[in-house]
């Protein structure tokens, strides 16, 4: 007489286990995809901020050219930065370096008087801040329907 390896109740248990674990597995896969989406957006916005700062660091004229800094950032991450609520802003930072000390000063026509050439030199940096909205792949109840990724890059301007 041949006896089956599994009884009927054991094969039903496998079906129940599959029914319980399949939704958890699907949630795990979707969560991983969502984290990958946010990670990709974070890398893109960081690259965009760095590209803008890199453009601005080429000269003092470039450091003051906010529209072209924004274009350089957009060229680096075109899919992310084309959204209307994306912001790319740049700021010039000036420092008076004298005797090993560095003091922050206002970047304007009076900067020379704040840092006399006899005692120090003026160093200029450009700081680019970028932020962009990221729409989740799947909207989960209780979580935001939109995330914002932000990045900041600062580079010294060539003299």
> φ and ψ at 92, to 5 degrees?
-90, 135
What confidence tens digit (pLDDT) does each residue in 10-28 have?
A: 667 888 888 899 999 998 9
Q: Which of 80, 64, 78 is nearest to 124 (CA)?
A: 64
What confidence tens digit (pLDDT) does each residue in 50-105 have?
A: 999 999 999 989 998 999 999 999 899 888 776 677 889 999 988 888 777 777 78
Distance CA 16, CA 143 (A): 30
Q: Which of 102, 51, 38 is nearest to 77 (CA)?
A: 51
Whose tokens are 């840092």? That residue is: 115
Evaluate whether residue 152 is within a structural domain. Answer: yes
Distance CA 101, CA 23 (A): 60
Evaluate whether residue 17 is within a structural domain. Answer: yes
Beta-carbon count within 10 A of 49 CB: 27
What angle is formed at CA 16 by the lines to CA 15 and CA 19, rounded to 5 degrees? 90
What angle is formed at CA 147 by the lines to CA 46 and CA 79, rounded to 5 degrees? 50
Evaluate whether residue 134 is within a structural domain. Answer: yes
Query: Domain total for the chain?
Result: 1
Q: How far is CA 135 from CA 28, 53, 74, 79, 143, in A?
A: 19, 26, 18, 12, 12
Average pLDDT across the chain, whole number: 85
Distance CA 122, CA 115 (A): 7
Global confidence as pTM: 0.78
Evaluate whether residue 24 is within a structural domain. Answer: yes
Domain that holds residue 103: 8-156
Quick one: pLDDT band at residue 7, thresholds 50, 70, 90?
A: low
Evaluate whether residue 119 is within a structural domain. Answer: yes
Tell me the residue length of the chain. Answer: 159
Q: What percent of the chain has pLDDT over 70?
A: 86
| pLDDT over 60 at 8, yes or no | no
Whose tokens are 């950032």? That residue is: 73
pLDDT at res. 112 = 62
Evaluate whether residue 1 is within a structural domain. Answer: no
Evaluate whether residue 20 is within a structural domain. Answer: yes
Question: If DSSP codes are grouped into helix, strand and coil, which group holds residue 64?
Answer: coil
Evaluate whether residue 3 is within a structural domain. Answer: no
């Amino acid at each position: 007489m041949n006896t089956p390896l599994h009884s009927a109740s054991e094969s039903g248990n496998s079906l129940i286990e599959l029914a319980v674990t399949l939704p958890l597995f699907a949630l795990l896969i979707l969560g991983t995809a969502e984290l990958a989406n946010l990670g990709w957006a974070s890398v893109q916005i960081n690259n965009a901020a760095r590209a803008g700062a890199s453009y601005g660091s080429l000269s003092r004229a470039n450091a003051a050219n906010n529209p072209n800094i924004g274009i350089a950032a957009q060229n680096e991450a075109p899919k992310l930065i084309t959204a209307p609520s994306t912001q790319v802003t740049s700021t010039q930072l000036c420092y008076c370096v004298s005797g090993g000390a560095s003091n922050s000063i206002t970047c304007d026509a009076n900067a020379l008087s704040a840092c006399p050439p006899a005692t120090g030199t003026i160093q200029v940096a450009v700081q680019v801040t970028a932020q962009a909205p990221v729409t989740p792949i799947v909207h989960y109840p209780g979580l935001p329907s939109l995330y914002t990724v932000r990045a900041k890059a600062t580079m010294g301007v060539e003299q």
